[in-house]
Amino acid sequence: MKLSQTTIGPFTLYSIEAGRFRLDGGAMFGVVPKTLWGRQMDVDDKNRIHMAMRCLLIESHNTGKLYLVDNGSGTKFDEKFENIYQLDYSDYDLLSSLEEHGFSPEDITDIIFSHLHFDHCGGTTYYDDDGNLRHTFPNATYHVTEKQLETATNPNAREKASFLADNIDPIKNWDKLNIVGPNHQYEEGLDALPVNGHTLGQQLPRITGDEKAIVFAADLIPTHVHLPLPWVMGYDMYPVTTLEEKENYLDQAVENNWHLFLEHDADQEMVTVKKEKGKFSVDQKLTLSQLTN
């Protein structure tokens, strides 16, 4: 599998595969019965579905910045945790993906966190051979929304298991931490859409140029199978809010021909959306490289 890339406007975009893992299928689809989602998703003997941790690298030719959106789960886990989530780095991990595109961790100038659940920010740090916690990207400014940092620092009992101290503490104490508000614009052509249903203060980076737009869908739409409005994860803190946000942004995706970059879809990197008789579904399935063509 070759990693894909494309150029739109002043940005070159690179897909980054930070590894694969598995999550419970029932939790991923909430109230939707397995008889429906099981037609489109394979499960293992523990009812877990295969998931990607697909990040996005954004090279700005205007500012010289190199933005990394999310960075996967990282490697700071014991054997029990790895077995629960079936963490798999056999094809790619964060560092090998960067290397394939010709970059090193030291090249990253900015990290944009969609949110701080472990599978989105765990790669920020690692344990060295002496057991010391180190930052993977020593030159990077970290960007996280104020709402999300507050939530991650003081989580409710239901969300607590997703915010791990050895992920969160180094981020909140980083001397190059930049706390942003909703609708933050990182530079011309790169902004973020606010989302609060999955977790308070999630942000979806949007890249625009050459009359195209790519939206990093994060956990608003984790896979292409989640396009129908009621197909909301059991992990979402505020599912009714997710419903409203999905309808709003999917309507915009149809109207403006957004390309949705899918962080967790094991098979599909990016899709466009159509709406027929009030229902949303996949229009095109493609990769970043196919967008260039």
Q: Residues with Cβ < 8 Å from 86, sequence gap 6 or more?
A: 20, 21, 22, 44, 48
Long-range pairs of 25-28 with CB within 8 A, sequence gap ≥ 24: 25/49, 26/234, 27/233, 27/234, 27/235, 28/222, 28/233, 28/234, 28/235
Residues 90-106 have a mean pLDDT of 96
Handedness of CA 230, 84, 118, 16 (dihedral sign): negative
Q: What burial letters (b/e) apply to 129-148, b meaning 16+ CB within 10 Å?
A: eeeeeebbbeebbbbbbebb
- Coil, strand or helix: which one is 127? strand
pLDDT band at 79 (very low <50, low <70, confident <90, very high): confident
Overall average pLDDT of the 164-173 stretch: 96
Q: Model confidence over 182-200: pLDDT tens digits?
A: 999 999 999 999 999 999 9
For residue 166, give the H/E element and its range: helix 165-172
Cα 75 from chain centre? 17
For residue 18 the two structure tokens come to: 């930070």
- Is pTM beyond 0.95? Reply is yes
- Predicted confidence band at 28 (pLDDT cuts at 50, 70, 90)? very high
Give the count of domains, the chain.
1
Domain holding 258, by residue range, is: 5-292
pLDDT at site 62: 97
CATH number at residue 57: 3.60.15.10
Q: pLDDT digit string (tens) for 221-259?
A: 999 999 999 999 999 999 999 999 999 999 999 999 999
Mean pLDDT of the 269-281 span: 96
Give the chain's mean pLDDT.
96
pLDDT tens for each residue of 2-18: 899 999 999 999 999 99
